[in-house]
Structure 1
Amino acid sequence: MNRKGVAEQLSVAELVHFGPLGQAKVFAAEDLERQVSGVVLVAELEEIRQCEPHSAVVLHGTAALGAWALESALRLAWERNASCVIAPSDIVVTNPTAQLAERLRVPLFVVTDPAQHALELSAAVADTEAARARLTSRCAVLFGERATVRDIVGVVNTEVPGVLVALVTEEGHVLAGRAAADQAAGQRRIEVDVPGPDGRPWARLVAQLAAWSPSWASTVRTILRLARAPLAACVGRAWLGPVHQAAKDRLLLDTLLREENTEGERLAREAGWAVDGQHVAVHLQVADHAPADPEATTPRVIAAWQEAFPHLPLVPRGEGWVSWWTDADSPELVARLLREHLGATGSPVPLAAGVGLPGGGVDGLRRSIGEARLAAAVAGRRDGERVELFGTLGPRAVLACLPVAEVAAAARVALADLLAAPDADVLLAALVALLDCAGSTGQAAARLGVHRNTVLGRIERIRARGVDLDSPDQRLALHLACYSLLSAS
């Protein structure tokens, strides 16, 4: 009995992996998840008929003698629902005997000293907590000796019997271990968060238990928690290189983009960066609807980028990251490649991207980077399409520099009467269409897909809410107010 009064039993697999049966030769090893409630030392075959279910039957004396003794013992053990049969090594296990054990699904072990094994098995079965504590200690030692994520997860899959474990990212990718572990459900599934170097959850250890009990589930959870620190250390070492390189690249890019800086060009060429030719710059940033710390996400963003575009640098700059294609066919081609990259599930955070116009040399790269940043700001404020080309923005690029949240807050005050209308959304859409179409009610109607008289009716309701559409000095402010309201919604 354990401390909570719940009967806990070791499985045959546990006795094999960290108990007395570890060195035994085994037959029918596919059915080791049976629990062992007790150990019976049998001298006569008939004694097996008195065994309790889930017993480990240990043969010795006359029970192990005779041409058909082992086969008879296996059949009797199967009838009594025994967990396993243990026989002395001086008995020859023939192929028919091994096949019988497999057919009956009764694990058969061969040991040199059955009596000694019976004593050791009894001690292990009687003190389940001690046996599982030894397993936990062994795993902790092995975790400390492993240097890679795959090897650390492999310790659990190798040493912990009846357990499948996988390391799964927050996006559902299996990084290491057995993919089948992530398919478990209910009590047989155990999850433990694994923090990254920034202390935030980076992945999950997911375990699937072949057999469940409160104590065994607690043991497995403890082992998974012991694996978290070594896993975080491995990830930290893997991230340290990209973080250090990103800091160096940031300084190098700042140096390169300074006016008339030949030293920066020389250093960039030595680093393998493309400096000459026509450049199309790209600016990545975290989408506005999914705020994240660029410093914390930089290693994962760079790792995902290098997997997709190993020939291109990705350099932290401001609140985002910068790269560039040299002598690319067109900005549209670059945008298509970016859409494919951002649409892949490997992206660690939702990103928006801007693509600049082609520019020659360092001066052209400097200009294209600025254009890409403005385009990314527009893309980051929209749902759906997350790649924007500067060439299609026109004067809209100016809007990317506006503090949308602040302008929207002021617009809600200035247009409070309009926004209080029961059909505020309809009126606001009509007002935006009218302003975008330079006051043309016909064009606004075509854009909205309604009759021109419908637009005229909505204009009258807008005027009734205190909005002056005839004042030229108010039209620009009104247009910006509507834009900010739509962008902030």
Structure 2
Amino acid sequence: MGRTMKDTRLDVAGLLAHGSLRGTTPLYLTPASALVESVVLVSHLEAIQRVRPNTVVVLSAEMGSGGWLVSAALRHAWERRASAVVVAGSTYSSAVIGLAERLGITLLAAEGNPAGVALALAAEIGAALSVMDAELARFARAVAKDSALPDVLKTISRELDGVSVSLEHDGVVLASTGTAPRDPAKVITVDVGAVDASVPSALTARLPASGVLNLRLVRSILEVAAPSVKAAWLLGNSRETVRAVPTAALARLSQGQGSSGKDFEEDHRHLLSQLGWRRHERYAAVWFCHSGLHTPANDLTAVLRLLWRKVSPRSPLAEVEDGWLALVPAAHQAIAAQLELRLKTRLQPSLAELGLVAGLSRWAYEAPPLPSIIQEARLAAVSARSAGQGTVLGFMGLGVTAATTFIDRDALALVAELTLPRLMASPDREAIVAAVASFLDHRGSVSLAAAALDVHRNTLQARLGRARELGVPLDNPSQLLSVHLLLDVLRAAAPGKQAFKDPYETRKDSHEFPV
């Protein structure tokens, strides 16, 4: 729409060259030609205080007869950011023209009655607006033909000479097209309305600050396109819901403990076949969930599905209990690695802003049963919560440490308070906790534990003896796992190294053993 957008954009220079202002005499012209969106004929100064920006102020013949009235009109018009001031033809002093120059506002003198200039200019503005209305009607018909959101955005961008157009949700770009300006941009935003979410979404255009686009027309185009954008978004989301049915159904199937993948596929072979899942095919599972323990009230499914298209548009995203799930074909390990990389590079910032985390299953040479990879992805996502919003975590790098994710550390600290009261009350508690925890970390090796703590082995042995005196059960193998968990929590909560003098500490270069 480049030609029409520029032709319907009226400015002072164009109107002077071949428009309704050709019959006026410039007394002063600003270096930059101002836009013209309206015209007003005024017969008293107070009327100028009500005009809108980008208005040509035409003074009646009576007002333009006195130099002081013109000076006052110039000041009022400048305050209202008027495009120009037109006065009756006369000989004006250099002081009036100098004032227009200092204020930076165009001053024109009409050869005849200024009212004729106002009428001619009003007709020209009306004609331009009628052309604009016709163009908007044509554009509305064109954009209504598109049913897919990417096509709708492309149609809008083409209409705006290829500028950047995006659909945004709470500042997160869900979909975009066009070329983003390199120089500072003029941003025009139109509300699209809520789509399965409590936070309204917006249609945004970013225009070059140095461009010649008609900003008023740009906003009108976005307003006309907003219903089509919302309709395409809703239609796309409903289609994705239908496509995601097999994934959602698979998420509800469970594999019994101890049963093999072969047993699972045999038990559900007819259902898996009807849902479209192929036996022995490798998939990578991706699970999204909220980073907090409590799920926000707003529904992010429609938003997350648009973001997911940036990662794997052919794999539907299903809304499941406690999150969202997608299964991506991954015949080779490189495909699974690329999937994790795309999640981190394309979605991580958006996930952080939305308060979400993501988990991925691991890739195996022998295709694991589908419920197993779903469980891996979910465990990885839950484990990612402790690392903060936006975290993308793969189960491959997590392994058995995923178990610690589900430990209630506050509950363990309470257990320590109740079951080890003498240790918790001891002034040398931090040193004893660190010693015993390190001892257990190193599978009962005094030498390795002492080296890790940078103390003499005699010092470590003394601390272990002190721990036994304080009631820590180090000689019962069935209780060592629980002791290790308790002390690990206490060690993590310690504010720092102890400030007191440890009576059990022996220098590494000493051979004395404290009694």
Task: Identify the TM-score tier after normalising by the shorter chain.
Answer: 0.5 to 0.7
**2:248 partner letter:** R
Instruction: Report the equivalent of 1:442.
Output: 447
| Structure 1 counterpart SS, 2:59 | strand
| Structure 1 counterpart SS, 2:309 | helix
Distance 1:397 1:116 in 2: 78
Are the structure 2 counterparts of residues 450 and 488 from structure 1 closer, same or farther at C-alpha, using a change threshold of 3 Å?
A: closer
Distance 1:206 1:445 in 2: 62
Are the structure 2 counterparts of residues 314 and 208 from structure 1 closer, same or farther at C-alpha, using a change threshold of 3 Å?
A: closer
Instruction: Report the equivalent of 1:344.
Output: 346
Structure 2 gap segments, 5+ residues each: 1-8, 23-30, 37-52, 125-135, 208-218, 255-263, 495-515
TM-score, normalised to structure 1's length?
0.56
Distance 2:360 2:102 in 1: 72
| Structure 1 counterpart SS, 2:267 | coil
Displacement of 1:297 in angstroms is 3.2
**1:327 partner letter:** A
2:86 to 58, 64, 72: 58
The alignment's C-alpha RMSD in Å is 6.3
Displacement of 1:114 in angstroms is 0.9
Q: What do residues 19-38 of structure 1 show as CA deviations (whole Å, max 9, x unaligned)?
A: xx9x9678977534966695
Distance 1:431 1:405 in 2: 18
**1:404 partner letter:** D
Instruction: Report the equivalent of 2:502.
Output: none
2:199 equivalent to 1:201: yes
Instruction: Report the equivalent of 1:471.
Output: 476
Q: Whose Rg is larger?
A: 2
Distance 2:206 2:331 in 1: 51
Are the structure 2 counterparts of residues 208 and 171 from structure 1 closer, same or farther at C-alpha, using a change threshold of 3 Å?
A: closer
Distance 2:245 2:414 in 1: 39
Are the structure 2 counterparts of residues 170 and 377 from structure 1 closer, same or farther at C-alpha, using a change threshold of 3 Å?
A: same
Q: What do residues 219-242 of structure 1 show as CA deviations (whole Å, max 9, x unaligned)?
A: xx9xx9999998766644443332
Q: What do residues 197-226 of structure 1 show as CA deviations (whole Å, max 9, x unaligned)?
A: 3433265678999xxxxxxxxxxx9xx999
2:433 equivalent to 1:411: no
Distance 1:246 1:438 in 2: 48
**1:240 partner letter:** S
2:267 equivalent to 1:239: no
Distance 2:304 2:252 in 1: 20
2:331 to 309, 327, 332: 327
Distance 1:39 1:458 in 2: 95
2:280 equivalent to 1:276: yes
TM-score, normalised to structure 2's length?
0.54
2:268 to 220, 245, 261: 261
Distance 2:452 2:472 in 1: 21
2:249 to 248, 251, 254: 251
Q: What do residues 130-178 of structure 1 show as CA deviations (whole Å, max 9, x unaligned)?
A: xxxxxxxxx9xx9999767859999xx99xxxxx998654455485699
Displacement of 1:358 in angstroms is 2.2
Displacement of 1:422 in angstroms is 7.7
**2:362 partner letter:** G
Distance 1:488 1:145 in 2: 63
**1:351 partner letter:** V
Distance 2:304 2:454 in 1: 42
Give the conservation status (yes or no) of the 8 Å contact 1:192–1:225: yes
Instruction: Report the equivalent of 2:304.
Output: 301
Are the structure 2 counterparts of residues 375 and 253 from structure 1 closer, same or farther at C-alpha, using a change threshold of 3 Å?
A: closer
Distance 2:426 2:249 in 1: 53
Correspondence list, 1:34-433, <5 A: 39-41=58-60, 50-51=70-71, 52-53=73-74, 54=78, 56-58=84-86, 78-79=100-101, 81=103, 83-84=105-106, 113-116=116-119, 150=153, 168-170=168-170, 173=173, 196-201=194-199, 203=201, 235-251=233-249, 254=252, 259-269=266-276, 275-277=279-281, 279-286=282-289, 288-289=291-292, 292=295, 296-320=299-323, 321-329=325-333, 334-335=336-337, 337-345=339-347, 347-348=350-351, 349=354, 350-356=356-362, 358=364, 360=366, 364-382=369-387, 386-390=392-396, 393-394=399-400, 396=401, 399=404, 402=406, 404=408, 407-408=411-412, 410-411=414-415, 413-414=417-418, 417=421, 430-433=435-438
Structure 1 gap segments, 5+ residues each: 1-14, 64-68, 92-110, 122-138, 159-163, 210-220
Displacement of 1:474 in angstroms is 2.4
Identity fraction in percent: 24
Distance 1:86 1:455 in 2: 95
Displacement of 1:288 in angstroms is 4.3
